[in-house]
Amino acid sequence: MTRTTIATREGATTELPEETVEAFRRHLRGPVLSPADAGFEEATRLWNGIIEKQPALVVQPTGTADVAAAVNFARDHDLLLSVKGGGHNIGGTALADGGLTIDMSRLRGVLVDPEARTVTAQAGCLLGDVDRETQLHGLATPLGFISETGLAGLTLGGGFGYLTRRFGWAVDNLLEVEIVTADGQVRRASHEEHEELFWAVRGAGHNFGVVTSFTYQLHKVGPTVYGGLIAWPAERSDEILETYRQLTTTAPRELTAFMILMRAPPAPFVPEEEQGRRVIAMTVCYSGDPADVDEVLAPIRSLGDPIVDLLQERPYTQLQSSLDATEPKGMHYYWKTEFASELTDDLLLTVRDLAADCPIPGGQLVVIHLGGALNERDSDDGAVGNRDVRFVYGVAGMWEPDDPNAERFRQWVRDAWTRIRAFSTGGTYINFQTAEEGDERIRTTYGDNYDRLVEVKDTYDPDNLFRSNRNIIRT
């Protein structure tokens, strides 16, 4: 008799008879895939090629009933369970190695209510799916920078994007979720219903169930904004960094700017003689009144003589996808990030010096301005916390899967991280944590909200069915 060997929650394996798996298949509308099946490879392909995991079974639900059935099956058979949205998490949390993965990719419906300015999106959506529909009405909500990122993973970890300075974390704009909890029950959680569960979902939501749909508040944005990439030679780093610090002190919330220190890519928009040279760049989004764009961008324009200048009016959806090509699926990614409340001299000098010494051809030192709306809420307004954050910064490496220098590159990132941690608030962005970062790192992410999260976990997932994540546990 054929049996499926599959991982249990505690790290052992069990044998599922074929009739058990077949009965499970018959109970679903969507497919159940094993490694020999067509579609399995695509269903388990992650953005970060450094992750080496393979589930024993993958379920592809076509609706909430399938999700509930998969949760019940995993719980009843004590299986290691994970949930895959876009598969974009750097730590590879989307896949249950040897276990059961629920792949939400068939659930990509989006419904916009332009009068109420809300959007409800299923959990398999990518950010681009949502932006495409909401921009038909000139509406948007803060949703990241890479259009191929999964909506669910981004949101459940807090979420930030070009619009965060105006409207806060993604979860600050979340109105309601539909969620299947560990007991297989379908619940709606909001500020009025299952309030504690909703509080916890807003920043640590990977821990409490499978969210099948999200409803967000929308805001008038677009359909065009002003932005793009502008870059200068790295030799001007001191001047550019100081201008960036001043800009982030005075800029209106309609302006968001990233600072990126890197090597110029071999892209058509980069002059051939500059390709491969170290540069300092800004990625810019201005979503305010077009009549004010010259005044708002004057500090950037005053720098003069860029080697690349792609700043222009463009569709918001185009800007939201403009960085997609810089993070191709399947490359090896490894990074370390922190939150900062200010840009001190020492922080900027350290970032400059690390960029000058970075041995990774695809390496970057990045500073992203987030300060604004998120700072106006209380620290316990959603599990996401970190209301003292004004910047996220870090060091990121990217290389080909067969690069012989991979371990040297990883060690350089770790060493660089040691230097930049001195400027951190102590909090970090949960979605940017790598698999090797331990439980203490998770605790510091949530700070004073952690103990409350443990209580919610005990209520809705007492046996820790949902553990293939940055896991909330009682210690």
> Look-up: residue for tokens 């540069």?
279
Whichever domain contains 163, its CATH number is 3.30.465.10
Domain contains 437? no
Are both 383 and 308 inside the same structural domain? yes
Q: Choose the final residue of a domain: 50, 74, 103.
A: 103
| Residue 129, domain member (yes or no) | yes
CATH code of 45's domain: 3.30.43.10
- Candidates 389, 390, 395; CA nearest to 351 is 395
Residues 333 and 353 occupy one common structural domain: yes
Say yes or no: 12 and 34 in one domain. Answer: yes
CA distances from 252 to 26, 195, 248, 300, 338 (A): 56, 33, 9, 14, 24
In terms of domains, do 17 and 125 share one? no
Q: Are residues 181 and 238 in the same domain?
A: no
Boundary residue ending a domain (73, 103, 133)? 103
Residue 1, pLDDT score: 59
Q: Is residue 449 part of a domain?
A: no
Contact criterion met (CB below 8 Å) for 292 and 255: no
Dihedrals φ, ψ of 321, to 5°?
A: -110, 5
- Residue 360 sits in the same domain as residue 254: yes
Whether 443 is in a domain gets the answer no
In whole angstroms, give the CA distance from residue 200 to residue 209: 11
206 shares a domain with 94: no
pLDDT in the model for residue 65: 98
Does the residue 464 lie in any domain? no
* CA dist., res. 77 & res. 100, Å (int): 11
> pLDDT 10s digit of each residue in the chain, 475 long?
589 999 999 999 999 999 999 999 999 999 999 999 999 999 999 999 999 999 999 999 999 999 999 999 999 999 999 999 999 999 999 999 999 999 999 999 999 999 999 999 999 999 999 999 999 999 999 999 999 999 999 999 999 999 999 999 999 999 999 999 999 999 999 999 999 999 999 999 999 999 999 999 999 999 999 999 999 999 999 999 999 999 999 999 999 999 999 999 999 999 999 999 999 999 999 999 999 999 999 999 999 999 999 999 999 999 999 999 999 999 999 999 999 999 999 999 999 999 999 999 999 999 999 999 999 999 999 999 999 999 999 999 999 999 999 999 999 999 999 999 999 999 999 999 998 999 999 999 999 999 999 999 999 999 999 999 999 987 6
Whether residue 240 is found in the same domain as residue 381: yes
Q: What is the distance, to the nearest Å, from the Cα of residue 88 to the centroid of all Cα atoms in its chain?
A: 7
- How much is the pLDDT for 2? 84
Looking at residue 474, what is its pLDDT? 79
User: What φ, ψ does residue 126 adopt, rounded to 5°?
Assistant: -95, 165
Q: Does some domain include residue 447?
A: no
Does 413 lie in the same domain as 295?
yes
**370 in the same domain as 270:** yes
Give the count of domains, the chain: 3
Tell me: do 398 and 322 sit in the same domain.
yes
Of 194, 220, 246, which residue constitutes the final position of a domain? 220
The verdict on pTM exceeding 0.85 is yes
Question: Would you say residue 20 lies in a domain?
Answer: yes
List the CATH number of the domain containing 360. Answer: 3.40.462.20
**Looking at the domain assignment, is residue 338 inside a domain?**
yes
Residues 215 and 230 in one domain: no
Which range of residues forms the domain containing residue 135? 110-220
